[in-house]
Structure 1
Amino acid sequence: MTQSATVASVAAGQTQVNPGMQDATQIVPVAAAATSSKRRKRRERHPAMPKHGSLLTRLGEHFKRYWQLWLMVTPAICFIGLFAYVPMYGVQLAFRDFVPSKGLTGGPWVGLKYFRQFLESPMFGNIMKNTISISLWTMVMGFIAPIILALLINQIGSTKVKGFVQTITYMPHFISTVVIVAMINIFLTPGTGLLGRFLGDTSLLGNPNLFTPIYWVTEVWQHVGWNSIIYLAALSSVDTALYEAAKVDGARRFQLIRYVDFPTILPTCGILLILNMGSVLNVGFEKVFLMQNALNLSSSEVISTYTYKIGIVSNQFSYSTAIGLFNTLINFVFLVIANAISKRVSETSIF
């Protein structure tokens, strides 16, 4: 068949071009008809929203089509709005000289007075150093340890052994902070503690240089199992054919982890790292406050405990609000920078 005859045949809707292409040309019209039918049914079920018209008209059409979804998420929206956005009205205390009898907006406007007061405070340098040191150690080690644990658990072949290891590592997460701190004090008690009897006559919690290591080691121990769950979930999606193919090529366990497991969880690691950067200065108040004593105060005073003592104990509400807002702004800057770097390097980002 000549080229002109072929073109004419196709233009006329013929399904047979030549004997060798008969099956393929018969399939094309059928597939096209099926696709067209599916699109027509989809348009009938979900008619296209009007592209023109006023904003109210388009919003009305949108809610008319998706009112079930909006009804489902309404309780969550109300909860977030009530407990996350309504309290932000009180942020203006950081810029006012608060007078309780006049309410949140009754005090005189003082601008950045309390921010300057915090930056010029003799406690500022020590507080920032302690906060950054404790937070970075906890974030880095708490980020690496769950990844290693998940990779190791994933290599366990026995289902029963894997379940037992997971249960044992999850359990400390459900222990309250008060109980954890009590356990730390008991274990480190000189002479009678499980560890203290081997470490001399002085409690390690009284040593300012050891406060940060004790904090992040116990923090990682408590939450490493729980934080590894998301990585185990990502590893469960790996196709077993990849393991079999790698083993056929002679790959060992370490090579399986390096070339199969680790690339699988890498996007998840990037997202979690960005989210962790958003709380880089948010050191947990409860645990630090309970571990503080007169001997280690120079290395355990962080922004959260200082804010509590200034605001609740000393009744300097405007000053404590300014400190808290300063902390939030720094965390936001870290979050934006980490997201931009991750987006540029690995094309993984949250916005």
Structure 2
Amino acid sequence: MNHETALHRRAPYAARKSRMIRLLNKYKYYYLLMLPGLLYFLIFKYIPMGGILIAFKDYKLAKGIFDSPWSGFKWFEILFQTEDFWLALRNTVIISFYKLIFGFPAPIALALLLNEVMSSAFKRIIQTIVYFPHFLSWVVLGGMMFTLLSPTTGILSLFGVSNSPVMQPEHFRSLLVWSNIWKETGWGTIIYLAAMAGINPELYEAARMDGANRLQLVRYVTLPSIASTIVILLILRTGHILSAGFDQVFILYNPLVYSVADILDTYVYRVGLTMGRYPLAAAAGLFQSAVGLLLLLFSNMLSKRLGGSGLW
């Protein structure tokens, strides 16, 4: 009797195993295509998470991560008592907020404009032009901006401007926001254009029969149809609110604008790699990631509470 019971219990497991093998064999080439992406996230995202332990240890390079003594929350206490950390946190929130307010709607507006272009050839030309800055690194763009905004050799020299905005704290944040919009807006339209391509043409035909003009088509057909895409991208953007763009800031900032430009990413770089205080830098990075995760969860919950769609 016990033997029969064991066989009955083993049967569902054997069936599931057989089904899994059939699925793996059926979609093996798809899984093979997924393998490079999975390896990327495993090697560069998940394995390095072991370094989080440094934030809770008196890390010694000679002893390594696992043999260094535990220190509890000592480095977090030091971090929260450091004025430079709070300044970097304040700058990060302000710059990210500006980028969210002014930068997030920009790809939506550009995608709506491109969607109204009837000539496919002209549309492709415009898309190529607005996509191109995304493929340039901030090293190249930073050099271009320093040259163009130079008060001696750049465009500003034609207007008699004596100081470059790159060197002025009151203008530096605006420069970060608008240069980021110029670089990334075109690339950000891809997802929205793909979402618009999936809208049922019959919806537009029905709206035209009701007398809707072009603006009303956008307002009552296009925008509601891509609302779920907008919400999902907004949720993902909220999770990166404490990541204000290390490459851009690191290339453009200088000692004259540290008070308004030093962000958490540059703070972690400076404290960890330049000063060698690895546990303090790890604590700051862990704080940044934890807050980002909480903001992501909160925005997803808020979206679902308001009747919208969420990530899960």
Indicate the percent of aligned positions where both proteins have the same amino acid.
35
Aligned: 1:221 with 2:182 = yes
By how many angstroms is 1:80 displaced?
A: 2.5
Task: Indicate the SS of the match to 1:282.
Answer: coil
Whole-angstrom CA distance in 1 between matches of 2:185 and 2:246: 19
By how many angstroms is 1:215 displaced?
A: 0.3
By how many angstroms is 1:51 displaced?
A: 9.4
1:293-312 equivalences in 2 (<5 Å): 293-312=254-273
Cα gap change, 1:195 to 1:235, in 2 (>3 Å) = farther
Aligned pair partner of 2:20 in 55, 63, 70? 63
Task: Say whether the 8 Å CA contact 2:85–2:267 is kept in structure 1.
Answer: no
Whole-angstrom CA distance in 2 between matches of 1:314 and 1:184: 29
1:121-140 equivalences in 2 (<5 Å): 121-140=82-101
Q: Deviations over 1:139-192 (max 9, x none)?
A: 232210000001111111222222222111111111111111111111211143
Task: Say whether the 8 Å CA contact 2:300–2:311 is kept in structure 1.
Answer: yes
Partner of 1:83: 44
Q: Deviations over 1:120-143 (max 9, x none)?
A: 111132111100111121123221
1:57-206 equivalences in 2 (<5 Å): 57=14, 60-68=17-25, 69=27, 72=32, 73-195=34-156, 197-198=158-159, 200-206=161-167
Task: Indicate the SS of the match to 1:296.
Answer: helix
Cα gap change, 1:242 to 1:298, in 2 (>3 Å) = same
By how many angstroms is 1:57 displaced?
A: 3.8
Whole-angstrom CA distance in 2 between matches of 1:51 and 1:242: 54
Task: Say whether the 8 Å CA contact 2:54–2:65 is kept in structure 1.
Answer: yes
Partner of 1:36: none
Aligned: 1:254 with 2:215 = yes
- Count of aligned pairs between the two proteins: 302
Task: Provide TM-score, normalisation by structure 2.
Answer: 0.91
By how many angstroms is 1:78 displaced?
A: 3.8
Task: Say whether the 8 Å CA contact 2:228–2:308 is kept in structure 1.
Answer: no
Whole-angstrom CA distance in 2 between matches of 1:303 and 1:294: 16
What residue identity is the alignment partner of 1:259? Answer: Y
What residue identity is the alignment partner of 2:209? Answer: V
Task: Say whether the 8 Å CA contact 1:94–1:319 is kept in structure 2.
Answer: yes
Aligned pair partner of 1:239 in 179, 191, 200? 200
Aligned: 1:283 with 2:244 = yes
Task: Indicate the SS of the match to 1:104.
Answer: helix
Higher relative contact order (CA 8 A, sep 6+): 2
Task: Say whether the 8 Å CA contact 2:232–2:310 is kept in structure 1.
Answer: yes
By how many angstroms is 1:54 displaced?
A: 7.7
Task: Indicate the SS of the match to 1:283.
Answer: coil
Whole-angstrom CA distance in 1 between matches of 2:113 and 2:8: 54
Cα gap change, 1:186 to 1:257, in 2 (>3 Å) = same
Q: Deviations over 1:278-303 (max 9, x none)?
A: 11111221210111112111111111
Q: Any unmatched runs of 5+ in structure 2?
A: 1-6
Cα gap change, 1:76 to 1:203, in 2 (>3 Å) = closer
By how many angstroms is 1:246 displaced?
A: 2.0
Partner of 1:8: none
Task: Indicate the SS of the match to 2:69.
Answer: coil
1:304-343 equivalences in 2 (<5 Å): 304-343=265-304
Partner of 1:21: none
Aligned: 1:349 with 2:310 = yes
By how many angstroms is 1:210 displaced?
A: 1.1
Task: Say whether the 8 Å CA contact 1:196–1:203 is kept in structure 2.
Answer: no
Whole-angstrom CA distance in 2 between matches of 1:51 and 1:330: 48
Q: Deviations over 1:5-53 (max 9, x none)?
A: xxxxxxxxxxxxxxxxxxxxxxxxxxxxxxxxxxxxxxxxxxxxx9953
What residue identity is the alignment partner of 1:305? Answer: T
Task: Say whether the 8 Å CA contact 1:187–1:196 is kept in structure 2.
Answer: no
By how many angstroms is 1:236 displaced?
A: 1.1
Cα gap change, 1:74 to 1:52, in 2 (>3 Å) = farther
By how many angstroms is 1:91 displaced?
A: 0.8
Q: Any unmatched runs of 5+ in structure 1?
A: 1-49
